[in-house]
Amino acid sequence: MATLAQWKKQIKAQNSSLTKMVDGNSIDLSTDEYNKTIDEWAKASFDQEVETALIADGGQSAKYAQYRAAAYPSIADQLDMQYHDGVDGTTTWADAIAAVKTKYAKP
Amino acid sequence: MAEVFLSKQTASSTATISFTSGIDSTYSEYLFVVGGMHPASDGTILGWQVNADGQSGYNEVIQSTNFYGQMAESGDSGMVHIGVSDTYDQTVGTAFQPLTGSVGSDADQSGSGQLRLFNPAGTTFNKKWVATSSCAVSDNTVLGLYTAGYINTTSAIDEVQFKFASGNMDSGTITLYGVG
C-alpha cells in the first residue's frame, strides 16, 4: 500500500499542470491551487486505498456498521437460512451473521 | 414548468468545473444535468459545493441525507444492496457533497445525474436541494443514488463547482438550466 507521500509524488508526476473550467473558459491552476489540488487528490486516493483494503480484508473501523450492513446476506437469503436451520438443525444463519460481525469489528 | 438552457461546460482533462454566472433570482429553481462524466482515476466520487454571495471558496455548510440501490453486473443476488451510507451524506459539513458513487474509469464507465437547487437567490431560508445519479462503479456494479438536503446559509448562492474527489474529469458535460 502506498504512503500519502508516494501518492502525492505519483499524482504530481501524472499531472505536471492542471486546468479548471470556469463558465466555459479553461484556465491553468495557480501554483497554490495546483498544490492544494494535488494534496486533496493524494489524500483521497490514500484514504480510498485504506478503505478498500479494510473492506476486503476486514478489521476495526468506526464505519463498522456501514460495512456490516453491506456485507450481510440479503433479507431473502437470511430468511432462507433460518428456514433451513429450523428444519435441519443447522446454524447457517447465525454463522453467517457472526462471520460478518467478526470481519468488521467495532473499535 | 419549462426548463431554459443557460450554459453548458465540457470537461477535457479538467480538475474542476465552476458556474460563476447565471445563478441569480431570475428562476426559482436551477437544474444542473451531468452527462457521462468520466474520471481519470478509477473509483472516485463526483461531488459539488457552492459559494455564497460575498464569500470566498466552495465551502458552505451542507446538511444532507441519502439512500441508494446497488446491483452487480453479474446479477449476483448477494451483491444487491439497498441502504443508506455515511459516504454520501454529511452533518453540517463543508466537504464536497457526493453526487455519484465511486465512478469507474474503464472506457465504458461514467457517472450521470442531476442536481436541483431551489431558490438560490433567496435570503430568508436555507437552500434546499435534491440530486439523483446513476453511475458505473469501479467494481462493475451500478449504483443509483438519491441525495437531498440543505445548504445552511440564508445568503444567496451564486456559484457552484463540481469535481471528482481525486483526479481529473477526463470527459463529460454539465448543463445548467433555469426552471420556472
Q: What is the pLDDT of residues A46-96, one digit of tens each?
A: 999 999 999 999 999 998 998 998 899 988 899 999 999 999 999 999 999
A8: three-class secondary structure by DSSP: helix
Burial (CB count within 10 angstroms: exposed 0-12, middle 13-18, buried 19+), residue B71:
middle
The pLDDT value recorded for residue A46 is 95
* Contacts of A27-35 spanning 24+ positions with Cβ under 8 A: A29/B15
Q: Do A66 and B168 touch (CB under 8 A)?
A: no
The pLDDT value recorded for residue B79 is 61
The pLDDT value recorded for residue B1 is 73
Q: Do A21 and B13 touch (CB under 8 A)?
A: no
Q: Which residues of A touch B (CB under 8 A)?
A: 11, 15, 18-24, 26, 29, 37, 40-42, 44-45, 48, 52, 63, 66, 69-70, 73-74, 76-77
Band of pLDDT at residue B156, cut at 50, 70 and 90: very high
Residue B166 has pLDDT above 70, yes or no: yes
pLDDT per position as a tens digit, B86-129? 899 999 999 999 999 999 999 999 999 999 999 999 999 999 99
Q: Tell me the C-alpha distance between B165 and B152, whole Å.
A: 22
Interface test with B, best of A48, A54, A55, A67 (most B CBs within 10 A): A48
Residue A99 has pLDDT above 80, yes or no: yes
Residue B80 has pLDDT above 90, yes or no: no
Residue whose C-alpha cell reads 507521500 in the numeric block: A5
CA A101 vs CA B98, B111, B136: distances in Å: 28, 32, 29
Q: Tell me the C-alpha distance between B54 and A80, whole Å.
A: 59
Taking contacts as CB-CB distances below 8 angstroms, the residues of chain B near A11 are: 166-167
Interface test with A, best of B16, B17, B82 (most A CBs within 10 A): B16
The pLDDT value recorded for residue B85 is 87
Domains of chain B, each with CATH number or no CATH: 3-179 (2.60.120)
The pLDDT value recorded for residue B180 is 86
Taking contacts as CB-CB distances below 8 angstroms, the residues of chain B near A48 are: 43-44, 102, 165-166
Q: Tell me the C-alpha distance between B98 and B46, whole Å.
A: 6
Residue A1 has pLDDT above 90, yes or no: no
Band of pLDDT at residue B72, cut at 50, 70 and 90: confident
Taking contacts as CB-CB distances below 8 angstroms, the residues of chain B near A63 are: 86
Q: Which comes out higher in pLDDT, residue B155 or A74?
A: B155
Share above pLDDT 70 across residues of chain B, in percent, rounded to a whole number: 97
Residue B76 has pLDDT above 70, yes or no: no
Residue A3 has pLDDT above 80, yes or no: yes
Which of A37, A45, A73 lies nearest to residue B78, judging by beta carbons? A73
What's the mean pLDDT when you consider all of chain B? Answer: 95
What's the mean pLDDT when you consider all of chain A? Answer: 95
